[in-house]
Amino acid sequence: MNPFDDALPAMLADVERLVCKESPSSDVDAVAESADLVAELGTALLGVVPERVGPHVVWRLGDGPARVLVLGHHDTVWPIGSLRTHPFSVRDGVLRGPGCFDMKVGVVMALHAVASLADRSGVTVLVTGDEELGSPSSRGLVEAEAAGCAAALVLEAAAGSALKVARKGVSAYEVRAVGRAAHAGLEPELGVNAAVELAHQVLAVATLNAPERGTTVTPTLLNAGTTGNTVPAAGGFQVDVRVTSVAEQERIDRRMRELVPVLPGSALELLGGPNRPPLPESASAALFARAKRLGGELGLAPITGIAVGGASDGNFTAGVGTPTLDGLGATGGGAHADHEHVLVDDIPGRTALLAALIRELLEEDE
């Protein structure tokens, strides 16, 4: 008998409270209120008041050194008011609501799994509030809490039902061009067209794409100019880079910094750089093998793994050398989309798997 079968109603009640506390990453007040709720839910389950670091909530359990980091985030991409169009609901075994899959169900699973342990000494639970922004204020905290641990277990949602055994590294850039304005009808020859310069640069950046290496370099958001009858004096575009190795991330960074202007009189400025290192399969292999074995012992469906292009805070934990297994959260789909949903029947089994992983890691580390 899975003890989390009986706990499921309480877990769903906690999920409802968390989903109904909307927490778009860029809304400081909303994220602060969501962090308050995470702290309240966790305190009730763990019996310990957490430390608050801005919108981030951390429990360091026991008096000894940290040995297992359980990691998640409570911020979402959904703006305030999304509950009106995407209300919380549970029907026919499917849970819906903004941020349920990515990743408020995972947060609740983490808290209940840790609470079920007879001995929690050495467990750190960290729930951050800016992951969807790229973790600008929490990266140092994530890396510090992960350093020296035997494992980092990340409660991001599964890829369908598969654990995420590898993630690409991410770099983000903005290429800015500066030209000179002029009247487009009277004297366009006196201008330096930043839009044309950007067109050259977009094409140059696109040539860096190398899918045979697992590398994608994608120009994205583009803007230039001020009015329809003015030669654009300035503009820029963003670039999304995904890579499978640090060496490839460094290679693309060098190439981006080698960009030079094409039009006489124009100038370029490059902002940004590497954001998250890759999470290589080698960082998760041992933990994934352990999860597969424990899943079999628990009678769960066969545990599978997949490499994905998206990044998470697990990239940071792997980057400091901590063995990391990601995608331990909810099953379902539709992250960041209208059809975001969670499969309710899988919650107890996945929570039991997490609890078993933590318990075995603690016992082995002792």
**How deeply is 304 buried, as exposed, middle or buried, from its count of CB atoms within 10 A (0-12, 13-18, 19+)?**
middle
**Is 75 one of the catalytic residues?**
yes
| Token duo for residue 258 | 């080698």
What is the spatial distance between Cα 364 and Cα 325, in angstroms, rounded to a whole number? Answer: 17
**How deeply is 231 buried, as exposed, middle or buried, from its count of CB atoms within 10 A (0-12, 13-18, 19+)?**
buried
Phi, psi of 64 (to 5 degrees): -85, -175
Query: Which is it for the CA torsion 157, 162, 167, 173, positive or negative?
Result: negative
**Is 14 one of the catalytic residues?**
no
Burial 156-179 (b: 16+ CB within 10 A, else e): bbbbebebbbbbbbbbbbebbbbb
What is the spatial distance between Cα 350 and Cα 266, in angstroms, rounded to a whole number? Answer: 56
22, 131, 132, 253: the catalytic one is 131
**How deeply is 334 buried, as exposed, middle or buried, from its count of CB atoms within 10 A (0-12, 13-18, 19+)?**
middle
What is the spatial distance between Cα 324 and Cα 286, in angstroms, rounded to a whole number? Answer: 9
Can you count the helices (H) and strands (E) in the chain? Answer: 10, 16
14, 16, 22, 75: the catalytic one is 75
Q: Known catalytic residues?
A: 75, 131
